[in-house]
Structure 1
Amino acid sequence: MEIRRLTVADVPDCMKLITDRGWAWTPEQWELMLALGPAWGAFDETGLLGTAVTTPYPQMQAISGVLVGSWAGRRGIGTQLMTNVLDISPSVLFATAMGEPLYARLGFHPVGATVELQGELTGPASGMTRPATPADLPVLAALDEEVSGFTRPLLWERLLDPASPYRVLMSADGVVATRPNPAGETVGPLIAPSAEVACAMLVDVAAGAGRVRVDTGDAEVAAFLRGRGFEQGGGGCTLMVCGADDVPGDRSRYFAPASHALG
């Protein structure tokens, strides 16, 4: 078996793993992740067996896309891929219930969690936000760094690109974005000064948008969405770190992550 760096040419094979494991990543998400940092694949003579993606920030690296094909299980491939990327520390990731035991064995510990809620918001928008433009990049990158704790201007450059599939709205002291998923739209990041404002921003971005997915670790936002008919989907994810006590930033204002892949 060989572990080597993935390229855009490998995206079709990566999507085979996504389909096999029932994940919701799209080819566009793979291409974004490959642009933001190195990703690694385990190969043998039959082709791609598993993947692990890293997104390096000055503060720590985010790990995501740890996938092993069902046909290649119980061969230690996930452990080998993780060992390959853990030479940089500290690290952060969102773990599914299936992956959490592996990450715990590798030294990760839980520091938070998100619940996945899906539904449709009807009624008028709140009018609290306006569309963001590339001219807003410095402000939004600085706000994101303050709240998420990660320095990632390249991410915001991608999100604000007029050709991007992301839709970004901002308020005086917050930002919310959506991206397409196979069933509708996914919200993230959602940064706001309070849960009340976060809910109003959600209404702006989700009203009339069809089926929307929100991954949140905030009880008030979750209660608001459930009160509007949203239902839980999936098993949620556990936020875990290795080589640090916790994630940086003011996470009390981080109501939905940029994505589970990006921390």
Structure 2
Amino acid sequence: MHVRRLTLDDLDACGRLAKDRGWLPERHKWTLLFEVGEVYGIDAPDGDGLASTTILTRYGDDHAVISMVLTASRYGRQGLARRLMEHVIAQAGDRIVSLHATENGRPLYERLGFRTVGHVAKRTGVFGGEHSGRTRPATEADLETILALDADAFGTDRSPLLRRMFIFGERVRIAEGGFGHCWRNDDNVVIGPVVAGDEETARALIGDLALDVGGEVRLDLDLAKEDLAGWAAEHGIGAPWQVSLMVRGGDLPGDRARQFLPFMQALG
């Protein structure tokens, strides 16, 4: 089966494939991934949409993220995910490659040379609390400051992605030594990325963003940051669903201690 580069003309087909696997269509999210990443797929032999997809997003010359590894249920266990994974790993070249893996996908990634370096729990709920008074709404005039903070913490250049925050997202907030962003998905508002010099600043950014948008929010929390996870639970953000953070080709760049929430699991 032939691997091809998908375009926005394939967006509806990607949504149908996601729904086939029990995921939400997430059209807003997929559109961003098409803009900043390389979306690959295999057409279904029966002519009905896509059989499988995978996305590669490159950050500079050092790091790349793989995401949206989906195979139609009727084509499961036929090697399509492995074929697409091998294709995007080759496209990544010498970059360190990371991804977030479900338990279902983890064995394949291990066979391809990925190792687990951490665990992330999706937590959702309605945040209860008050504004911290420590953050303020950011404007595009703050963008260069935000990009500098992120490059220092993330260890590579993801400015093409972050420059889209003010269009893609619901809110961007900034604090001394940190920033946070949130964006609306199909069923909630996802908070991320959040980069901060310390956990107190991260809590202020997360809480203020959650209160700004109201309603249910989602946090993808690094389980190594136990105090932050406990704080989130105390403020109404619970119901965790866990995935593994996996890496191939070396160690993740940057300072993980200052990376409190990813932009989304699909983008790291």
Same fold (TM over 0.5): yes
Query: What residue is the counterpart of 2:83 in the other structure?
Result: 80
Corresponding position: 1:137 with 2:139: no
Contact 1:115 / 1:232 at 8 angstroms: preserved in 2? no
Query: What residue is the counterpart of 2:236 in the other structure?
Result: 229
Q: AA paired with 1:196? A: E
Q: Give the one of 121, 127, 134 matched to 1:115.
A: 121
Query: What residue is the counterpart of 2:74 in the other structure?
Result: 71
Corresponding position: 1:187 with 2:191: yes
Match of 1:86, SS state, is helix
Q: AA paired with 2:264? A: S
Contact 1:130 / 1:171 at 8 angstroms: preserved in 2? yes
Residue 22 of structure 1 and its aligned partner are, at CA, apart by 2.6
Corresponding position: 1:15 with 2:15: yes
Query: What residue is the counterpart of 2:163 in the other structure?
Result: 157
Identical positions, percent: 37
Contact 1:112 / 1:240 at 8 angstroms: preserved in 2? yes
Match of 2:164, SS state, is helix
* Residues matched between the structures, number: 259
Contact 1:137 / 1:160 at 8 angstroms: preserved in 2? no
* Alignment CA distance shift 1:25-1:144 (3 Å): farther
Match of 2:265, SS state, is coil
* Alignment CA distance shift 1:139-1:189 (3 Å): same
Residue 63 of structure 1 and its aligned partner are, at CA, apart by 0.6
Within 2, Cα distance between the matches of 1:123 and 1:85?
A: 43
Deviation by residue 1:210-234 (Cα, 9 ceiling, x = unmatched)? 1111011121110001112322243
Query: What residue is the counterpart of 1:99 in the other structure?
Result: 105
RMSD: 1.5
Contact 1:137 / 1:153 at 8 angstroms: preserved in 2? no
Query: What residue is the counterpart of 2:36 in the other structure?
Result: 36
Within 2, Cα distance between the matches of 1:25 and 1:44?
A: 18
Residue 142 of structure 1 and its aligned partner are, at CA, apart by 1.6
Within 1, Cα distance between the matches of 2:124 and 2:204?
A: 17
Residue 105 of structure 1 and its aligned partner are, at CA, apart by 0.5
TM-score (norm 1): 0.94
Deviation by residue 1:190-245 (Cα, 9 ceiling, x = unmatched)? 111222221122111112611111011121110001112322243x221111111x
Gaps of at least 5 residues in structure 2 are none
TM-score (norm 2): 0.92
Q: AA paired with 1:68? A: T
Gaps of at least 5 residues in structure 1 are none
Match of 1:160, SS state, is helix
Q: AA paired with 2:185? A: N
Within 2, Cα distance between the matches of 1:182 and 1:160?
A: 19
Q: AA paired with 1:23? A: W
Residue 24 of structure 1 and its aligned partner are, at CA, apart by 4.2
Within 2, Cα distance between the matches of 1:126 and 1:116?
A: 24
Corresponding position: 1:257 with 2:262: yes
Q: Give the one of 226, 229, 235 matched to 1:219.
A: 226
Within 1, Cα distance between the matches of 2:255 and 2:24?
A: 28
Deviation by residue 1:50-91 (Cα, 9 ceiling, x = unmatched)? 100011112121111111111110110000000111112321
Within 1, Cα distance between the matches of 2:265 and 2:138?
A: 22
Within 2, Cα distance between the matches of 1:48 and 1:214?
A: 30
Residue 20 of structure 1 and its aligned partner are, at CA, apart by 1.8
Within 2, Cα distance between the matches of 1:6 and 1:59?
A: 24
Within 2, Cα distance between the matches of 1:130 and 1:100?
A: 40
Residue 36 of structure 1 and its aligned partner are, at CA, apart by 0.8
Within 1, Cα distance between the matches of 2:200 and 2:76?
A: 44
Residue 260 of structure 1 and its aligned partner are, at CA, apart by 0.7
